[in-house]
Amino acid sequence: MVVSTWPFVEAVRTAWRAVDSGFSAVDAVVEGCSACEELRCDGTVGPGGSPDENGETTIDALVMDGVTMEVGAVAAMRYVKDGIKAARLVMQHTGHTLLVGEKASAFAISMGLPGPTNLSSTESTEKWIKWKQNHCQPNFWKNVQPVNSCGPYHGKKDYSHRTCFEASLLPEKFKSSLPRVGVNNHDTISMAVINKLGHIAVGTSTNGATFKIPGRVGDGPIPGSSSYADDEVGACGATGDGDIMMRFLPCYQVVESMRLGMEPKLAAKDAIRRIARKFPDFVGAVFAMNKNGVHAAACSGWTFQYSVRSPEMDDVKVFTVYPDSTINSK
């Protein structure tokens, strides 16, 4: 079985062909996510999308083996386009879980991946130029001066220890306009696979949030946030506002809820509601899949779609979930 965030149909087909040919769950996940990176799904996976404040595209990726609980991940990786393959190399050839930045790039290249290469594209560069012309708005800074400019920024000492409520009362001149999370600027492929032996693996790949502050790492390479797998229980994948989601580890929550007997549809909804109670304007989604192939999803702030391929299907099927609702199928 293959499940993926969004209507990334070709990626799911690629993973299905791999798992149907007898590949391991980990290798099938890597094949599927690699296809999405090559296709530059929605411009938010792989090279050529989501420029940061300096106009550069960087890659976050993760792969997790639900049999051994091993994880390999890369974050803020520059100059190497194959994020999910680099993550697998971390898992296969190091005792570490996560490598970051240029050191992750150097590792990936030393292990045979192509690079260094410019990960920007004509489209991402044009997007960045327009953003600069718009005085670098919106951006991810807050409680800084000057606003409505491209910086450099500095904080206001008088407001540095305010509570969230107090910060909401700040004069407009101290507030910044945070980017609105959406499919076209804040997306991720998160994929789960059950292979012929019943083993489970998950993988995630993304080029992160558009116009992020350089060095920012979202939930993509964080185990338990963007994805999580355990052969004894099932798997989860997530997408959305990673800066918020990583504070709650929603996929770890989903899998542990299923371990305690909760059905996938309730586990998915519970994980999303835990976040939405604290952040009512939160935008994100999770899918849940138990070891028997029962799957479901829940979302907040947007309409979410996820893709599934199972032996009972002739081709990939896309399911649609609306805020505060779930889809539950087998």
Respond yes or no: is residue 206 known to be catalytic. Answer: no
Is-contact 253 233, C-beta < 8 A? no
Residue 140 lies in a domain: no
Strand (E) positions, 78-199? 98-100, 144-145, 154-155, 189-194
pTM above 0.85, yes or no: yes
Residue 229 lies in a domain: yes
Cβ-Cβ contacts under 8 Å for 141 (sequence gap 6 or more): 151, 153, 176, 213
Number of domains in the chain: 1
Please check the confidence at residue 177 and state whether its pLDDT lies above 70.
no
| Residue entry with tokens 């993973």 | 15
Please check the confidence at residue 249 and state whether its pLDDT lies above 60.
yes
Q: How many angstroms separate the CA atoms of 308 and 133, rounded?
A: 41
Helices 250-259 and 264-278, packing angle to 10 deg? 140
Q: How many angstroms separate the CA atoms of 218 and 44, rounded?
A: 13
Is-contact 90 249, C-beta < 8 A? no
Catalytic residue chosen out of the listed positions 188, 204, 206, 210: 188
Cβ-Cβ contacts under 8 Å for 138 (sequence gap 6 or more): 176, 177, 178, 179, 180, 211
Residue 20 lies in a domain: yes
For residue 154 the two structure tokens come to 């500095």
CATH code (residue 206): 3.60.20.30
Phi and psi based region of residue 301 (left: phi greater than 0; alpha: psi -120 to 50; beta: remaining)? left
The amino acid present at 224, given as its one-letter code, is: G
Task: Give the pLDDT of residue 175.
Answer: 40
Provide mean pLDDT across the span 170-190: 56
Q: Which of 248, 270, 272 is nearest to 259 (CA)?
A: 270
Q: Give me the percent of the chain exceeding a pLDDT of 90.
A: 83
End-to-end CA distance of the chain: 10
Provide mean pLDDT across the span 244-268: 98
Q: How many angstroms separate the CA atoms of 277 and 273, rounded?
A: 6
Please check the confidence at residue 253 and state whether its pLDDT lies above 60.
yes
Please check the confidence at residue 180 and state whether its pLDDT lies above 90.
no
- What is the distance of C-alpha 100 from the center of its chain? 16
Which residues form the domain of 43?
Answer: 2-118+180-321
Q: Mean pLDDT, the chain, as a whole number? A: 91
Q: Which residues are part of a known binding site for substrate?
A: 216-219, 239-242
Residue 330 lies in a domain: no
Q: What is the DSSP letter of 96?
A: -
Residue 285 lies in a domain: yes
Please check the confidence at residue 170 and state whether its pLDDT lies above 50.
no
Provide mean pLDDT across the span 231-250: 97
Please check the confidence at residue 57 and state whether its pLDDT lies above 70.
yes
Q: How many angstroms separate the CA atoms of 143 and 74, rounded?
A: 30
150-159 CB contacts, 8 Å cutoff, 24+ apart: none
Q: Which has more confidence, 30 or 177?
A: 30
Q: How many angstroms separate the CA atoms of 191 and 242, rounded?
A: 16
Quick check: helix, strand or coil at residue 318? strand
Residue 139 lies in a domain: no
Res. 179 pLDDT band, cuts 50 70 90: low
Q: Which residues are part of a known binding site?
A: 216-219, 239-242
Provide mean pLDDT across the span 58-86: 97
- Write the pLDDT tens digit of every residue in 115-168: 999 999 999 999 999 999 999 999 999 999 998 899 999 997 654 455 555 445
Residue 166 lies in a domain: no
